[in-house]
Amino acid sequence: MNKRFFDIPKVKQINLFNAGCKIFAENTYRNASMSKVAYEAGISKSLIFYYFQNKQEYYFFILNEIVNQLNSQLSVVISKQGEYDLFEKVIEIIEFKKNYFTNYNLHYKLIERIYYETDDNLIEELQQLKIALSQPYKELIVSMDKTGFTSKDDAINCIKILLYCAEGMVYHYDLDDLRNWDVLVDEYKYIIKSMRNNYYKELE
């Protein structure tokens, strides 16, 4: 990416970033034309290419910014100090995702596209983003208190099941309707209660 992008006023950086978010979130990569981005941003297409070599560089600039922002916020939730309970921590994570979706709807849709985009030219870089998105959860596995479980393996398996379950539920519901988030969180809390009863050595 051309460093000249960072030399323009911050408001113009944000405008061009937001325009890309909107067009790439609402279209597949192939259908997200730079002409649409330019129209949304209110600038010429040639000016975009003054800052970015090509469409792919611009696309991954936006995705990397979003992934870094999400991971930074999620790491704060995971590392927050206080009385530690794995199951309560996972509830905090799913509620964080609800708030993130509400506040950054287009960002959330772009993150979904990382997993569903099929353009062969993007596969390698998208795979690196998938690895980056998994990093906060690896931190959770490393830092979690495992003393309440019957074994260390049980603790690790439990967190994996919880996270896979959460991911599956997120894609099962139509989350464009925010009311479905409340249904999802309530259902997930019930699942967590059942797993807590099963995996902990003894209940308090």
pLDDT (tens digit per residue) in 161-171: 877 777 666 66
**For the chain, percent of residues with pLDDT exceeding 90:** 40
Residue type present at position 140: L
Most confident listed range (50-59, 155-164, 171-180): 50-59
Rounded Cα distance, 134 and 44, in Å = 37
Rounded Cα distance, 158 and 199, in Å = 7
Q: What's the pLDDT tens digit per position in 17-43?
A: 999 999 999 999 999 999 999 999 999
Q: What's the pLDDT tens digit per position in 67-126?
A: 999 999 998 888 876 556 777 788 888 888 888 888 898 998 899 889 888 899 999 999
Q: Residue 204: its pLDDT value, please? A: 44
Residue 6 pLDDT exceeds 80: yes
Residue 90, judged by CB atoms within 10 A of its CB (0-12, 13-18, 19+), counts as buried
Q: Which two tokens stand for residue 113?
A: 């596209």
Q: Residue 82: its pLDDT value, please? A: 55
Rounded Cα distance, 139 and 136, in Å = 5
Kindly state the average pLDDT of the residues 148-155. Answer: 77
175 band by pLDDT with thresholds 50, 70 and 90: low
Rounded Cα distance, 167 and 162, in Å = 9
Mean pLDDT, the chain, rounded, equals 84
Domain ranges, ordered by start, for the chain? 81-199
